């Protein structure tokens, strides 16, 4: 029995719930929102869709007590409406913090012992706060972090080379925010270093990196929210846990090397983060990663 709790039924939460139900990725899905009517409406909408779908999922609007035996809780709450075009995810922090504290208190009250995956922004700061508040090992608290930014980088590289983006390997490291960077030394196509390919084809690495960094805002500036790609990232990370994949994936997690939540590759399985992956980065990339950690820690101090 795969039981998932989803907290926050806005654009992202609703899309995550739809992905889970359409893919049959859970047996039981509990929806919670600070406005109970919204959770009830989303549950009803999904229930109406079930006769048209190939999988059965038990879906309902619930209460925190219903999450006591949940395997995974997804924190998809947020206040994206506070962000202005060209803005910063950090804008959401002041509004999100009280709700994060309330969620943590409610989960502690029911002795939740599963795994928490957060999309809430600013993601690295939020998972750090969750780790301080929740009665869970750090390894069981994850954020989507640069999992999505890495996908955006792969999409940009794929388009530049006119190949399937799934053929691209490599990582965007650091903060899910302005200090993130593409570690080009890790990016490969069929075993070949992409930096060499880019040089031969006269591709602009800085331009590709910036397009990946601004990918979310390219969508947000018109739609005024993002939902599809971040929902896909959330569900993909959730499925790595459910399948005990032992898969190397990048996400925001507690990295002992930096004593901080930061996006670096980790081994993901049924216990959450089950191991660290050491990358052979260039000196410049090491410096960028350290600077990104410092940026996250500075933001944490502002609200600690």
Residue 268 pairs in a beta bridge with 247, 273
Active site residue 176: yes
pLDDT of 224: 80
User: What is the DSSP secondary-structure string of 33-70?
Assistant: -SSHHHHHHHHHHHHHHGGGSSS--EEEE--GGGGTT-
Domain extents in the chain: 3-143, 147-302
- Among residues 11, 56, 79, 176, which one is catalytic? 176
Block means of pLDDT (10 residues each) for the chain, 304 residues, are 96 97 98 97 98 97 98 88 52 82 97 97 93 96 96 95 96 92 96 93 93 80 86 98 97 93 96 95 96 88 67
Same fold, 3-143 and 147-302: no
Strands 141-143 and 115-118, bridge-based pairing: parallel
Which class does domain 147-302 fall in? alpha beta
Alpha-carbon distance values, 30 to 5, 9, 19, 61, 226 (Å): 5, 11, 14, 6, 22
Q: State if pTM tops 0.85.
A: yes
pLDDT of 87: 52
Superfamily of domain 3-143: NAD(P)-binding Rossmann-like Domain (3.40.50.720)
């Amino acid at each position: 029995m795969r039981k998932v709790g989803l907290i926050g039924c806005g654009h992202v939460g609703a899309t995550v719930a739809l992905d889970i139900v359409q893919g049959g990725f859970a047996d039981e899905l509990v929806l919670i929102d600070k406005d109970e009517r919204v959770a009830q409406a989303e549950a009803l909408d999904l229930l109406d869709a079930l006769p048209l779908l190939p999988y059965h999922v038990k879906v309902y609007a619930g209460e925190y007590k219903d999450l006591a035996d949940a395997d995974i809780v997804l924190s998809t709450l947020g206040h994206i409406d506070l962000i202005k075009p060209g803005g910063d995810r950090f804008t959401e922090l002041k509004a999100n913090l009280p709700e994060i504290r309330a969620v943590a208190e409610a989960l502690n009250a029911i002795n939740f012992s599963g795994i928490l995956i957060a999309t809430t922004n600013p993601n690295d700061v939020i998972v750090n706060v969750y780790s301080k508040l929740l009665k869970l090992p750090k390894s069981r608290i994850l954020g989507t972090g640069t999992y999505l930014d890495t996908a955006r980088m792969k999409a940009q590289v794929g388009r530049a080379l006119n190949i399937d983006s799934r053929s691209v390997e490599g990582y965007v490291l650091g903060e899910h925010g302005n200090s993130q960077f593409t570690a080009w030394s890790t990016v490969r196509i069929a075993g070949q270093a992409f930096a060499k390919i880019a040089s031969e084809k006269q591709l602009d690495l800085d331009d590709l990196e910036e397009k990946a960094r601004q990918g979310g805002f390219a969508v947000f500036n018109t739609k005024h929210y993002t939902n599809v790609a971040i929902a896909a990232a959330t569900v993909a990370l959730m499925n790595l846990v459910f399948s005990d994949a032992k898969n190397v994936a990048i996400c925001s997690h507690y990295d002992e090397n930096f004593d901080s939540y930061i996006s670096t590759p980790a081994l993901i399985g049924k216990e959450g983060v089950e191991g660290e992956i050491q990358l052979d980065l260039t000196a410049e990339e090491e410096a960028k990663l350290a600077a990104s950690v410092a940026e996250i820690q500075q933001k944490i101090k502002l609200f600690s």
